[in-house]
Structure 1
Amino acid sequence: MNILQALFFPPEQPGGVSSMVPYIQEAFAGKGWEMELFSLPKRVRLKGTEEVRFETFDWTAFAGAPIVDKYVQTYKDYVWWTRLRLRKTYDLIHAHHPIAGLAMKQLFPDTPVLITLHSSFERELALNGKISPGGPEERFLTSLYGELEHRLDGIVTVSQSFKTYLSSFVRNPEAISVIPNGFDERRFKPVPHENVVPQLITVCRLVPAKGIDTLLAACSELKKRGYPFVLHLIGDGPIREELEQMAVSLNIYEETIFYGYMLHPEEFMPFFDIFVLPSRAESFGSVFAEAALCCLALVGTDVGGVAEQIDNDENGLLVPVGDPEALANALEKVMLDPSYRYNLARSAWLKAKSAYSLQRVIGQLQMLYGSLGAGGK
């Protein structure tokens, strides 16, 4: 049985789909399945010229909006690259991005095409101030969900909350499957350590949607209360300079380390104490599961997939979005009581091992592939 995993860009990043799919490929190979990975190289730009048509809406009504035009051109590029590179047929194609899913169905109309929707591009753009709610870009991107439902053979998403979000854009939301992301415990595992000063860590792209401004404000409050700490920020992005200036103005620059992009933060993470990320939205929040597998105490916001991973006061703490004082109070509670912190981390580790193991994902995917006609061996 030959299955193609169709990604968007190459799986170079750690975390989420980028790290999960190659391990899925490895696991299925061990079961005797044939599985290939395909993606669009980042250097491929402005090559595609085929006309783009969707069956459920006229995308040209949104033409002229830069984000829409770039999205459609990327779709053309994906089709061009796929025609150039793929010469064989497959028993099933599993796409991990709307462009990949629709392009594959266009070029392989007789092959079952399944898609996993890992995140909402329109929500990310809106939270990062790139588009206006209700504008042409948002309407174009949300229209794609109906197109995916109409043309593809199955839709999967990564959390119940994201399924609920999608339900207003499709005709039959009950047909959407939920398979939370899974993680290889060989990569994410605890390391015994003791830190005299609490070590806080976050891993994310530095964009407004991740709420790092809230985190810095909370850490400033912690310093005013007289608590020592070190905050480790792993990641890069367009507001890094702004955040560094904010750390200076809040008088916590000496307590804060901006690392920039790091290819394998999982090698770093187990040596810290508390993982904190006050996101304004998360479809799943893969990095929380990764931190849990490293046995870190978790502090997050009561949004999306994060709230599905964290049971407040049992395996982590949840706080409202955009509330620095509430976040400071939660961090204070975890920092001051090592036994409480350990119990939270231990509970998070146990839940992550059972609910977010890679083997669980493999089993669920194997059943799903079988339902679409890919029986495997």
Structure 2
Amino acid sequence: MKIGITCYPTYGGSGVVATELGIELAARGHQVHFITSSQPFRLTGREANIHFHEVSVSTYPLFEYPPYDLALATRMAEVADFYSLDLLHVHYAIPHSVSALLASQMIEAHTQLSRRRKLPFITTLHGTDITLVGLDPSYLPITRFAIERSDGVTAISSHLAERTREAFGVVSEIEVIRNFVNCDVYVRKPELVAEMRPRFAAPDEHLFVHLSNFRPVKRVTDVIEVFARVAHALPARLMLIGDGPDRSVAEQLALRYNVQDRIHFLGKQDAVHELLPLADLMIMPSQMESFGLAALEAMACRVPAIATRVGGVPELIDDQVNGLLFELGDVDAMAEAAISLLKAPDRLQAMSQAARHTAQERFCTTRIIPLYESYYQRVLDRVK
């Protein structure tokens, strides 16, 4: 197939999933065209069967805000026409699904002249495009319209699919295709761990990790709260991977608890698959997670997560089996559980093995990518 993919190319779950999906599809022989404002950060530019098409926006003085959605629609239509794309797959509803709808209509109008077939588009919902942005009264009607006019809609968890039906009154099909991880890339390699872990923790120290974009919904301050309690009871260190608006708040809180010298603020990192296996536990105390991709990537590396029982997280983490779930904001319970687990190495080892097993058996690319391929074909068959 020839597939056009649009996503936000910066750090964030939806962009990561879309980029990794494109990489996996290209590896399976499909021709993938990324149509985005800049090259997605996980692309090297050397992947076979992958093409990048930049969306440029004119800065005309009349426009207070550049009309990116219109420029995107135009570029989508141009790429689809020139490369004879079979379909568009857009990630994050706002504004990508609206742009795809416009592009599809442009192609359809052109079809009447050139007798080319319709260009279908699929929208994948990732979370805040529904639970936050989409529910804004300014965007709710257009979000609902774009979802309803999509030729196919997928959601990354059953929770998100149900939330979309409730919030938008959507009655059409929403296919649940959960997030995935490449289990050959996200894997614990003992020799690499032996080489890299001493940079972040001494042999007698436990190592925690948190990975996010440091937005308020990720509650990075709760990460510091949990870690500070653990660090005052056990020798421990923390790797914070990512960056964002709450970084300075986290730094100030670390100073207040006097644990700043035990925390590594690593900023944005490309090779997170090399860092995650170094940790003993992940802390993911989010206010909302439609799935919990960071936890899945850690689990594939044999790192269980201490997480909140929100959104689609329980669809990934089986409490007390491959990770631990807690109520939102219960940092005391999270810290106590972490200390107890670290003091029971056999239990930690069993949980680490279960985390890896869950990733392999339920969420590896070999299991999820064929679901997308099958869904693409179903959509194509419907619009013939």
Quick check: TM above 0.5? yes
Please tell me whether the aligned partners of residues 4 and 80 of structure 2 are also in contact (alpha carbons under 8 angstroms).
no
Aligned to 1:100: 96
State how far apart, in whole Å, the 2-side matches of 1:45 and 1:124 are: 27
Aligned to 1:209: 217
Tell me which of 37, 40, 44 is aligned to 1:40: 37
* Structure 1: runs of 5+ lacking an equivalent: 50-68, 126-135
Which amino acid in 2 is paired with 1:170? F
The alpha-carbon distance between structure 1 residues 137 and 178, as it changes in their structure 2 partners (threshold 3 A), is closer
Which amino acid in 2 is paired with 1:198? H
| TM-fit CA distance, 1:154 | 1.2
Please tell me whether the aligned partners of residues 280 and 303 of structure 1 are also in contact (alpha carbons under 8 angstroms).
yes
Please tell me whether the aligned partners of residues 319 and 330 of structure 1 are also in contact (alpha carbons under 8 angstroms).
no
| TM-fit CA distance, 1:77 | 3.3
Aligned to 2:369: 362
State how far apart, in whole Å, the 2-side matches of 1:15 and 1:288 are: 16
The alpha-carbon distance between structure 1 residues 103 and 174, as it changes in their structure 2 partners (threshold 3 A), is closer
Aligned to 1:113: 121
1:90 aligns to 2:101 (yes or no): no
State how far apart, in whole Å, the 1-side matches of 2:295 and 2:156 are: 14
| TM-fit CA distance, 1:199 | 0.5
1:73 aligns to 2:80 (yes or no): no
| TM-fit CA distance, 1:309 | 0.7
Aligned to 1:196: 204
State how far apart, in whole Å, the 1-side matches of 2:75 and 2:15 are: 25
Please tell me whether the aligned partners of residues 13 and 263 of structure 1 are also in contact (alpha carbons under 8 angstroms).
no
Please tell me whether the aligned partners of residues 36 and 55 of structure 2 are also in contact (alpha carbons under 8 angstroms).
no
> Percent of pairs identical after alignment?
22
Which amino acid in 1 is paired with 2:187? K
| TM-fit CA distance, 1:11 | 8.5
| TM-fit CA distance, 1:347 | 0.6
1:157 aligns to 2:151 (yes or no): no
State how far apart, in whole Å, the 2-side matches of 1:139 and 1:11 are: 26
Aligned pairs for 1:244-283 within 5 A: 244-283=251-290
State how far apart, in whole Å, the 2-side matches of 1:14 and 1:97 are: 7
Which amino acid in 2 is paired with 1:207? R
The alpha-carbon distance between structure 1 residues 287 and 366, as it changes in their structure 2 partners (threshold 3 A), is same
The alpha-carbon distance between structure 1 residues 301 and 281, as it changes in their structure 2 partners (threshold 3 A), is same
The alpha-carbon distance between structure 1 residues 12 and 263, as it changes in their structure 2 partners (threshold 3 A), is farther
Q: Deviations over 1:80-130 (max 9, x none)?
A: 4445655423222211132222212212232111111122146457xxxxx
TM-score w.r.t. structure 2 length? 0.80
| TM-fit CA distance, 1:48 | 8.1
Q: Which has the higher contact order (CA 8 A, sep 6+)?
A: 1
Aligned pairs for 1:161-176 within 5 A: 161-173=159-171, 175-176=173-174
Aligned pairs for 1:6-25 within 5 A: 6-9=6-9, 16-25=16-25
Taking only aligned residues, the RMSD between alpha carbons, in angstroms, comes to 2.8
Aligned to 1:227: 234
State how far apart, in whole Å, the 1-side matches of 2:324 and 2:278 are: 20
| TM-fit CA distance, 1:349 | 0.7
4+ aligned runs moved over 4 Å, structure 1:
10-15, 42-46, 83-86, 122-125
Q: Deviations over 1:131-168 (max 9, x none)?
A: xxxxx971233334311232111110100111121112
